[in-house]
Amino acid sequence: MPPVTEQLPTGTNLDPWFDHYAERAAGLRASEVRALFAVASRPEVVSLAGGMPFVSALPEDLVQGSIDEVMRTEGPVALQYGSGQGFPRLREQILDVMALEGIRANADDIVVTTGSQHALELVSKLFLDPGDVVLAEGPSYVTAMVIFRSYQADVDHVPMDEHGLIPEALREHIAALRSQGRTIKLLYTIPSFHNPAGVTLSWERRLEILQIARENDILVLEDNPYGLLYFDRPAPDALRSVEEEGVIYLGTFSKTLAPGFRVGWALAPHAIREKLVLANEAAILCPSSFSQLVISKYLETADWKGQINTFRGVYHERKNAMISALEEHLPEFSWTNPHGGFYVWVTMPEPLDSKAMLPRAVKELVAFTPGTAFYGDGGGRQNLRLSFCYPTSDQIRLGVRRLANVVRGELDLLETFAGTGSLTDTGAHRFTTPTDMA
């Protein structure tokens, strides 16, 4: 009698169109940050996870007055289609915003987009072919990596330290990729108050990195959502302030006004600008006329610089509350101490695993973003991102205290099962062999 072979059950895909998708659809994956929002929005959970601006610091009448004035004087225009490049008046005003970071430009080279996230997607559509490489800091912005993967590009993470991207490491990564015959299309960077690391690229390194990009014919994609949200001192001037032809600059009103308007922009070299306009029109026809006119009226009539100062004060206070709470409750950890922006990047001692720890944290009514969300290569297990922008200082202190309880519980569990391996990221706790830990 022949041996009996166990027949493994085959799964059934519930999507009848599964075999019809384009290959690039495989790169569309759920973001760990987005997946957290459903849990973190529960009122009993202290969310240190999402990077949501504290829009309650924006006086209601400040925006409402702009909305009323637009509808009273320009209602038919606000409710109509507009230009695929954006309203000229708003593009001129954006020049004033960018001037605060040393940028001198022409309004004709600005393309208004539906948030800077949309600009990032348009640039990727224009430049990335399957198999191309995007260089990015390690760690890097989670949704940027989702976009790059959706165009079937690979992300190569370049190390960073407390002064930002390390130029020598960038040179080494470029040389290694070129030796493999790989095509490098973009260097994606968040130089000011980095998401998630919170660090800022020094001025000397900005100049050196631009020189490396020039030498290697690599286009720099500068993403700058947080640059004006400094605490004690401004960040160095933008990369685009030095280099015009080799940098595409992405900006947004989501962090300095409100994300609900969904208005951002790209400042690009002239030839690239032309293609961005065409890509913008192909994707959405035109950005929202209503949102653009409201923001334009706000910039025209409100003390928008004073309002940014208000945001700075709120976030600075909350950052200090987070650092103080970490020093009190988790002194065995290390973390960045940002001079602006929204985030603190925390490093845990081995063998703690941030992704494996998350279910216990949610049970203890605190949420964070595991470091694995910010790497495309599985890194970041000893890291987590804590956001101080949205919760109050009291909520931050409560959240860090709860997080410390989670850590103690995780360490107790690891000590109980010492020698059997580390906890992994399956959602439930699974134990690995010592070989798997290597």
Is 113 part of a structural domain of the chain?
yes
Q: Give the pLDDT of residue 350.
A: 87
Q: What angle do CA 33, 155, 283 make, to 5 degrees?
A: 70
Using CA atoms, how far apart are residues 110 and 107, in angstroms rounded to an integer? 5
Is residue 114 packed enough to be buried (19+ CB in 10 Å), middle (13-18) or exposed (0-12)?
Answer: buried
User: Does the structure show a pLDDT above 90 at 437?
Assistant: no
CA nearest neighbour of 231 among 334, 141, 337: 337
pLDDT class of 34 with cuts at 50, 70, 90: low
pLDDT of residue 38: 63
In this predicted structure, the answer to whether residue 6 has a pLDDT above a threshold of 50 is no
For residue 172, give the CATH number of its domain. 3.40.640.10
Name the pTM for this structure: 0.89
Q: pLDDT value at position 15? A: 79
Q: How far apart are CA 61 and CA 72, in angstroms?
A: 16
Of 252, 282, 302, the residue that ends a domain is 302
Residue 108 has pLDDT above 50, yes or no: yes
Residue 149 and residue 98 in one domain: yes
Per-residue pLDDT tens over the stretch 117-167: 999 999 999 999 999 999 999 999 999 999 999 999 999 999 999 999 999
Angstrom distance (rounded) from CA 215 to CA 200? 23
Q: Is 255 helix (H, G, I), strand (E, B) or coil?
A: coil
What 3-state DSSP class applies to 351? Answer: coil
Instruction: Say if residue 263 is in the same domain as residue 350.
Output: no
Closest Cα to residue 226, out of 248, 208, 244, 199? 199
Is the Cβ–Cβ distance between 86 and 297 less than 8 Å? no
- The reported pLDDT for the residue numbered 419 is 58
The pLDDT value given to residue 426: 37
- Asked whether residue 43 falls in the same domain as residue 90, the answer is no
Total domains in the fold of the chain: 2
Would 272 be classed as within a structural domain? yes
The mean pLDDT of 74-98, rounded to a whole number, is 96
In this structure, how many other beta carbons lie within 10 angstroms of the beta carbon of residue 401? 16
Q: What is the pLDDT of residues 372-413, one digit of tens each?
A: 999 988 899 999 999 999 999 999 999 999 999 999 998 888
CB atoms inside a 10 Å sphere around CB 67: 15
When pLDDT is averaged across residues 1-14 and rounded to a whole number, the result is: 55
- Give me the domain span that covers residue 346: 23-52+306-415
Cis link prior to 359 (omega < 30° from 0)? no
Q: Give me the chain's average pLDDT, please.
A: 90
pLDDT band at 438; cut points 50, 70, 90: very low
Average pLDDT score over residue span 34-44: 66
